[in-house]
Amino acid sequence: MFMIPFLLTLFLPLLSSILLLFVPREKTQAIKISSLVFSLLTFAISLVLFFNFDHSNGGFQFVINTVWIKSLDAGFRIGLDGMSLMLVMLTTFISPIALLASFDSIKKREKEYYIMYMLLQFGMTGVFVALDLFLFYIFWEIILIPMYFIIGLWGGKNRIYAAVKFFIFTVVGSLFMLLAVVWLAYYTGSYILISNPQILLQNPDLLKYYPELSTDSLSLPTFTTNFLLIREASVLIPFDIQKWLFLAFALSFCIKVPLFPLHTWLADAHTEAPTPGSVILAGILLKMGTYGLIRFNLDLFPNAAFEYASIISWLAVIGIVYGALVAMVQTDVKRLVAFSSVSHLGFVVLGIFSMTNEGIQGAIIQMINHGLSTGMLFLCVGIIYERRHTRDIIEFGGLARVMPAFTVFFAIAMLASVGLPGLNGFVGEYLTLLGAFISPVLDSYLYTIIGATGVIFAACYLLLMFQKVMFGEITNPLNQNLSDITKREWVTLVPIVIFIVWIGIYPRTFLSVSESSTRELVIKLENIREGKAMEFPILREAKLNNDISDK
């Protein structure tokens, strides 16, 4: 019933980028308006999914399952759970806003730009909905091409270097992930399913995706990338193999997040990308990494995750502090915001690897928050860049006198990013730190104690920057006649402010969406950690029988 809205949410952007191919390049206005209309339409349609989502159900909803490559058991399988729904909503929400911001900042080769942009939106949505590792990988890589061109063609001075760095970093990670996908698919099919066919044959939820098995139970797939099937089987992967698979997936995701010390591409890419590119990059693209960590690393390789949780959490904590310290000494506003991203994403990773309900819920809401507040910060930086064509902090000062409305928006974005209670950033940071504090996996208060300093540092660098740029006397005569924000800029900023305040005051609306799926994941992790029960009932029974016969 919700198949059509779901498919439209995914494919409308692709459709629009194909249609744009046929619009003559001179008609820039038509190109802009039509891509905006498509993007808004996608948002409207995605709301249908949001309001029809069953919050009490922790599994995947609206699942669509079609066989694609039979001999590899790769399917077009998509579905949503609470976490992916939140991120899809973030994508469909931020995309039209950043698109609107492109109207000002993209002045050449508009046609190519909007084609790339819509392709990017398609890829990002796809990453969050894919329920097949092969499909996931394809969407993951589809993003590479448009983002590469957006940085390389419409970026700043050093754009080529930044674009290549972005490309190579991502490819290094993703090709190792591809290797892990192939190996995992092969291992699941040829080792686990063959010796434990009951995983599939006695699981009615999965069996419905394999109609041919009901007549011919011997034709089990020997190679499968079906996420739902691999998830059931993954409990049986021996630790030695889990370890390597975990590392291969984590490498790819941690580059994307980016986790310290893999963050070096981010500052360049952010600084050189055009404003909307930075908004998308910070707002959505980085979330693909943290999403992948939860979806694949925690869910598929829990034992390896326990093993590496402390290392990754330490890297996250280092990232929080390091990102903040580096941000403090930046002279370029955009670079400063970029490094603040490293710091903020550290909280997300810390929350994820606390493996507690609070931590993961906090991580999910922090992903949304970061998308909103950092996205808005980049928009604000873009606004002053449009007017002055520089982002150097010392070039500014006293902007509050000439741009009062802008000051308010910039202040809200900045305070949300600092984590002021009452705005959204606080909720996420509090929950992730709380999660790390009570986490039995991490089992140390140090993470929280050191991580919390990141909040203080954030206040330091953001407030200092804000003070230098906005307050004081106007020292630079060029700033004397800056115009305040335009109507279009109002339209881009107001929706974000609404959600920043909403999440800050009443986060329940959004936390409740991902509550059930997070709880299910955490319960699974706890059970596996305590070695109490297996995920699927059949195996649990088998285990019980073994226990009895042992006695």
Q: Please name the residues in contact with 109: beta carbons below 8 A apart, sequence gap of 6 or more.
A: 153, 154
CB of 137 to another protein, least distance (A): 7
Give the residue with the Cβ less far from another protein, 142 or 416. Answer: 142
The burial of 261, by beta-carbon neighbours within 10 Å (0-12 exposed, 13-18 middle, 19 or more buried), is given as: exposed
Give the residue with the Cβ less far from another protein, 19 or 138. Answer: 138
Residues of this chain that bind another protein (CB under 8 A): 68-72, 134, 137-138, 141-142, 144-145, 148-149, 152-153, 159-160, 163-164, 167-168, 171-172, 175-176, 178-179, 182-183, 185-186, 190, 223
CB of 209 to another protein, least distance (A): 16
**What DSSP string runs through 105-149?**
H--S-HHHHHHHHHHHHHHHHHHHHB-BHHHHHHHHHHTHHHHHH
Give the residue with the Cβ less far from another protein, 145 or 321. Answer: 145
CA dihedral in degrees (101, 25, 138, 95; nearest 10)?
20
Alpha-carbon separation of residue 105 from 101, 255, 278, 388 (angstroms): 7, 28, 12, 13
Give the residue with the Cβ less far from another protein, 160 or 478. Answer: 160
Give the residue with the Cβ less far from another protein, 179 or 446. Answer: 179
CB of 152 to another protein, least distance (A): 5
The burial of 480, by beta-carbon neighbours within 10 Å (0-12 exposed, 13-18 middle, 19 or more buried), is given as: exposed
CB of 430 to another protein, least distance (A): 39
Give the residue with the Cβ less far from another protein, 96 or 277. Answer: 277
Q: φ and ψ at 455, to 5 degrees?
A: -65, -40
CB of 177 to another protein, least distance (A): 10
Give the residue with the Cβ less far from another protein, 163 or 534. Answer: 163
> b vs e for 35-55, b when ≥16 Cβ sit within 10 Å of the residue's Cβ?
bbebbebbbebbeebeeebee
CB of 168 to another protein, least distance (A): 6
CB of 81 to another protein, least distance (A): 24
**Backbone CA torsion sign across 216, 218, 223, 226:** positive
Is residue 346 within 8 A of residue 317, CB to CB? The reply is yes
Task: Give the separation between CA 360 and CA 155, rounded to whole angstroms.
Answer: 35
CB of 471 to another protein, least distance (A): 39
Give the residue with the Cβ less far from another protein, 148 or 308. Answer: 148
